[in-house]
Structure 1
Amino acid sequence: MTIEGASPLGETIREFARHLGAERALSGHTLRAYLGDLRDLDAYADRIGLEGPAELDVTVLRAWLSRQHALGLSRATLARRTAAVRAFTSHLHRRGLLSSDPGALLGTPRRARDLPVVITQDQAGRLLDTVDATGPEGLRDLAVLEVLYGTGIRVSELCGLDVDDLDGARRTVRVLGKGGKERTVPIGEPAVRAVQDWLRAGRPAFATEKSGPAVFLGVRGGRLHPTTARRIVHERIAEVGEMPDMAPHGLRHSAATHLLEGGADLRSVQEILGHASLQTTQLYTQVSAERLKRVHRQAHPRGSAAE
């Protein structure tokens, strides 16, 4: 029997959380999601009368995942929960708390991947050419948009940039990506010019003692927060009008799609974006193909079925 008030897996989950925080380079968001998933497993184990981690087996895990499916969870969430429990049982097995690893027997639900919404090259040009870049905020917002679209980096990577990460002469930017992996990304002349204009004529108006080396600042002088960067993108797109609303990741999707449409090879785009898997990058080839089919249907005399 478990001690009154204790849960079957609570202590091992807490120990696993310490392990993840110390030894695995997971983002804070992924770590919180994994622990939430395992707490749900812990509650299920308690309901069915498990007394400890040694009683976890593949039948229990499959029953728990089946229940999640019955509750209507998406395939993406089920895939993440499967990954979380696999990491957990593997850790328990290595510690000797499980004689075998039941998580290794779980299949991974295939995620349905919707094609990302992207803007056209003309729309991207209109967005960047119509930003009112007067005043410190205007200079900053234009530089934010130019860098996001011009490099395809993530919003967290943009907000983490320091002044010495930008090499204007070589037109490259050093980026710290997921898992603490560093990469060098090419950056076009318009983005370099926009950042230099911001650093020269905009940043000093916001800078304080707490600004440190951050390239992009909020109005109070601290490093620009991703939430603020997202607001900038939404508001500036809304000002242009007749464009799909999107977050910074939409500009990343658009940059990748436009690179491939311009003739860039898949491996180069993978390196620019910092994708661990080429399969992730291949999604953008589907976006380009879908766009070409749309253009064909609209423009070719035999592109669509006769009405």
Structure 2
Amino acid sequence: MEVIINKFVDYLKTDRELADNTLESYNRDLNQFCEYASNNSIDNISNVNKTLIITYLMYQQKKGKAASTISRSLASLRSFFQYLLNEGLISKDPTVNLQAPKQEKKLPSILTPEEVEILLSQPNQNNAKGVRDRAMLELLYAAGVRVSELISLDINDVNMDMGYINCSKDSQNERVIPIGKIAIEILSIYINEYRNTFIKDDSEVSLFVNHHGRRLTRQGFWKIIKSYTKKANINKKITPHTLRHSFAAHLLQNGADLKSVQEMLGHSDISTTQIYTQITNNRIKDVYKKSHPRA
């Protein structure tokens, strides 16, 4: 079996040009299965059947492997046996209709309103960079946009008078998000007083630009939020998406309806938004336990 696995990994490398880390994962998953099959007296790939794969997945569960790990193993086996079928090395794919164990959805990490306040207060508002950075952080939390949406905003996507931003890049999928007075205030200062200090070309339309006068990149923004997270000394892992999660959770905690939050986040399926209600419910339980005399 090891020879065939090596051929498969070579195929993934040369024909599909997969990354080295991905190739290592495939190789590890398949060799672990190969060892299990050998321990069960199966050394010929054509003798592998659905029952063996099911017992292997159950064996992984008993060993305490995470559902995500087991799902990845099954995905590797599926690709492997599909390859063997296409190559004519087996007559039937034993992974057909096999279901991976359901993965438990992890609740997203959020900040408390106090932690948001601490993080957003880190940029120095006495210089252009600080005002720009504060405007970006405020907008992330005020509108719950993704980083890709934040850096894609053009100057004309912001309507100060009406208090909204337009995240739509086509008329078919219009998404207009209201923003609060604090975000409007800091954005106004950035646009009117500081944005031009970054601009090198008057034709530049990007809302947020770097010191080269060009549109800020994802990597550039990641560095920015990483540096302010360190300064804020908040003992949580904070990513740009943390502010998006916090935006949604705080809206629901304060009485916003799920459908409105779904529309602001741009989720196509409301079930994606519903995970934030679980965070809200957990918070209510915590408050009850701490506050009710008979809790």
Secondary structure in 1 aligned to 2:293? coil
Cross-structure match for 2:166: 173
Task: Give the deviation of 1:13 after TM superposition.
Answer: 6.9
Cross-structure match for 2:220: 228
Task: Give the deviation of 1:257 after TM superposition.
Answer: 0.4
Task: Give the deviation of 1:207 after TM superposition.
Answer: 3.2
**CA distance, structure 1, for counterparts of residue 183 and residue 60 of structure 2:** 45
- The 8 Å contact of residues 29 and 76 in structure 2, kept in 1 or not, is answered as no
**CA distance, structure 2, for counterparts of residue 72 and residue 94 of structure 1:** 31
Secondary structure in 1 aligned to 2:167? strand
**CA distance, structure 1, for counterparts of residue 233 and residue 259 of structure 2:** 34
Structure 1 pair 95/117, CA: closer, same or farther in 2 (3 Å)? same
Structure 1 pair 136/100, CA: closer, same or farther in 2 (3 Å)? farther
**CA distance, structure 2, for counterparts of residue 94 and residue 164 of structure 1:** 54
After superposition, the C-alpha distances for 1:166-210 in whole angstroms (9 at most, x for unaligned) are 34455132157xxxx95514131333443343233333333346x
Structure 1 pair 228/11, CA: closer, same or farther in 2 (3 Å)? same
Cross-structure match for 2:177: 186
- The 8 Å contact of residues 8 and 45 in structure 1, kept in 2 or not, is answered as no
Is the aligned partner of 1:297 residue 2:289? yes
Cross-structure match for 2:264: 272
**CA distance, structure 2, for counterparts of residue 163 and residue 55 of structure 1:** 63
After superposition, the C-alpha distances for 1:10-33 in whole angstroms (9 at most, x for unaligned) are 436755569xxxxxxxxxxxx997
Bigger Cα Rg: 2
Secondary structure in 2 aligned to 1:105? coil
- The 8 Å contact of residues 253 and 280 in structure 2, kept in 1 or not, is answered as yes
- The 8 Å contact of residues 44 and 64 in structure 1, kept in 2 or not, is answered as no
Moved more, 146-155 or 88-97: 88-97
Task: Give the deviation of 1:294 after TM superposition.
Answer: 1.7
- The 8 Å contact of residues 34 and 84 in structure 1, kept in 2 or not, is answered as no
Cross-structure match for 1:27: none
Cross-structure match for 1:23: none
Cross-structure match for 1:124: 116
Cross-structure match for 1:258: 250
TM-score, reference length from structure 2: 0.70
Task: Give the deviation of 1:116 after TM superposition.
Answer: 2.9
Structure 1 pair 265/85, CA: closer, same or farther in 2 (3 Å)? farther
Task: Give the deviation of 1:145 after TM superposition.
Answer: 0.8
After superposition, the C-alpha distances for 1:285-304 in whole angstroms (9 at most, x for unaligned) are 1111111222222233333x
Cross-structure match for 1:7: 7
Moved more, 229-238 or 246-255: 229-238
Structure 1 pair 225/214, CA: closer, same or farther in 2 (3 Å)? same
After superposition, the C-alpha distances for 1:260-286 in whole angstroms (9 at most, x for unaligned) are 112222233233223354333222111
Structure 1 pair 16/245, CA: closer, same or farther in 2 (3 Å)? closer
Unaligned 5+ runs, structure 1: 19-30
Match of 2:149 among 154, 157, 161: 157
Task: Give the deviation of 1:126 after TM superposition.
Answer: 4.9
Identity across the alignment (%): 28
Moved more, 279-288 or 293-302: 293-302
Task: Give the deviation of 1:152 after TM superposition.
Answer: 1.5
Structure 1 pair 217/90, CA: closer, same or farther in 2 (3 Å)? farther
**CA distance, structure 2, for counterparts of residue 298 and residue 275 of structure 1:** 34
**CA distance, structure 1, for counterparts of residue 16 and residue 144 of structure 2:** 34
Secondary structure in 2 aligned to 1:186? strand
Task: Give the deviation of 1:232 after TM superposition.
Answer: 2.7
Task: Give the deviation of 1:138 after TM superposition.
Answer: 0.7
Aligned length: 283
**Mapping of 1:78-117 within 5 angstroms?**
78-80=70-72, 82=74, 88=79, 102-117=94-109
Structure 1 pair 17/285, CA: closer, same or farther in 2 (3 Å)? farther
**CA distance, structure 1, for counterparts of residue 54 and residue 13 of structure 2:** 19
Amino acid at match of 2:263: E
TM-score, reference length from structure 1: 0.68
- The 8 Å contact of residues 85 and 92 in structure 2, kept in 1 or not, is answered as no
After superposition, the C-alpha distances for 1:136-183 in whole angstroms (9 at most, x for unaligned) are 11111111111211122222332333334434455132157xxxx955
**CA distance, structure 1, for counterparts of residue 52 and residue 168 of structure 2:** 42
Amino acid at match of 1:188: I
